[in-house]
Amino acid sequence: MKNSIINVSNDRASLDTSRRNFLKISGAGLALIGLTLVGCEDDDTTIIDNKVFDLGSGDVGILNYAYALEQLEADFYTKVVNNFYSGISSKEKELFTDLYHHEVIHRDFFKAAISGATSSILPTLEFHYPNVDFNNRNSVLATAKALEDTGVAAYNGAGKYITNPDYLVIAGKIVSVEARHASAIRDLINPGSGDFSGDDVIDANGLDLAKEPKDIVMVASGFIKTPFTWKEQGIQ
């Protein structure tokens, strides 16, 4: 009986933690956090202070944005390859190892590129995957599909905000690799189908998705524990 109470108590503690994180990152509406805090001043949420990182303006903001997304993808695949789902084939092992390599390389590239251009570099973010079962093939594939499609739509939507042609070309070099990943993952989920470039992502003009940073952050924030803002794009 006592044990069970203690267990419950622990559960609640962990739930509280995730709730706090959820408040921090829920939706793109980071602006709402301030309002939420007013309502729960007696909580321990005062750790949310004014030091929340802002991605910045102009090309620096875009680079930090890409860095955030690549951090997420790299983190996800690191977890996948450190704990392959049971029964994984050697072919799928190879594929996920490749994706892990590519995303880590992308992440480290942005870290180097941004550091070389400015001191306003996004810190290392913390992530969580509340609804992902890393032991389950379907769960891992579904998450990988969401992340890769999101990456493609993010780069496609961000290109127009880039002013430096060299950065634009680099983004182009990366986005097509994300699209190659997305295609492969989608075909693993539904082999031999048209899903690799499915009608859910490609419209009647033959155009892939392009999403605004605000919409991307709303989707990705489900995985991102560390709050950040991007005032230039209305994310705060």
Partner 1 sequence: MNILKLLDKLSNDKFFSTEASRLDAIKNMANFSSNVAIAAVPLGFGALISSSAKAENSSDLKITSTTLFDDKLIEALQLALTLEYLEDEYYRIGLDTSGLISSSDRTVFMQISKHETAHVAFLKSALNSLGETPVPKPTFDFTVSGNFSPFTDYNQFLVLAQAFEDTGVRAYKGQAGNVMGNKQILQAALQIHSVEARHASQVRRMRANKGWIELNHGGNMPEATYPVYAGEENVNQAGFNTATAFGPEAGSAAYDEILSGSDAATIAGLFIV
Query: Is residue 102 within the footprint of partner 1 (CB under 8 A)?
Result: yes
CB of 28 to partner 1, least distance (A): 20
CB of 6 to partner 1, least distance (A): 44
Query: Which position among 54, 92, 108, 215 is part of the footprint of partner 1 (CB under 8 A)?
Result: 108
CA 161 to chain centre: 20
CB of 61 to partner 1, least distance (A): 16
Query: Is residue 207 within the footprint of partner 1 (CB under 8 A)?
Result: yes
Residues 6+ apart with CB under 8 A from 53: 122, 123, 226, 228, 229
144 and 85 Cβ atoms separated by less than 8 Å:
no
135-174 residues in contact with partner 1 (CB under 8 A) are 152, 155-157, 159-160, 162, 165-166, 168-170, 172-174
Query: Angle, to 10 degrees, between the axis of helix 137-158 and the axis of helix 213-220?
Result: 160
For residues 210 to 229, the per-residue mask of contacts with partner 1, x marking binding by CB under 8 A and - elsewhere, is: x-------------------
20-59 residues in contact with partner 1 (CB under 8 A) are none
167-206 residues in contact with partner 1 (CB under 8 A) are 168-170, 172-184, 187, 192-194, 196-198, 202, 204-206
Which among 27-35, 78-86, 96-104, 220-228 is the span making contact with partner 1, rule CB under 8 A? 96-104
Query: Is residue 73 within the footprint of partner 1 (CB under 8 A)?
Result: no
CB of 207 to partner 1, least distance (A): 4
68 vs 162, beta carbon nearer partner 1: 162
30 vs 213, beta carbon nearer partner 1: 213
Write the DSSP string, the chain. -HHHHHHHHHHHHHHHHHHHHHHHHSSS-THHHHHHHHHTTTSSGGG--TT-EE--SHHHHHHHHHHHHHHHHHHHHHHHHHSPPTT--HHHHHHHHHHHHHHHHHHHHHHHHHHHH-S-PPPPP-B--TT--TT-HHHHHHHHHHHHHHHHHHHHHHGGG---HHHHHHHHHHHHHHHHHHHHHHHHHSTTSSGGG-TTTS-TTSPPP---HHHHHHHHTTTB-S-EEBGGGTB-
Size of the site for partner 1 (CB under 8 A): 52
Interacting residue ranges for partner 1, rule: CB under 8 A: 95, 98, 101-102, 104-106, 108-109, 112-113, 116, 152, 155-157, 159-160, 162, 165-166, 168-170, 172-184, 187, 192-194, 196-198, 202, 204-210
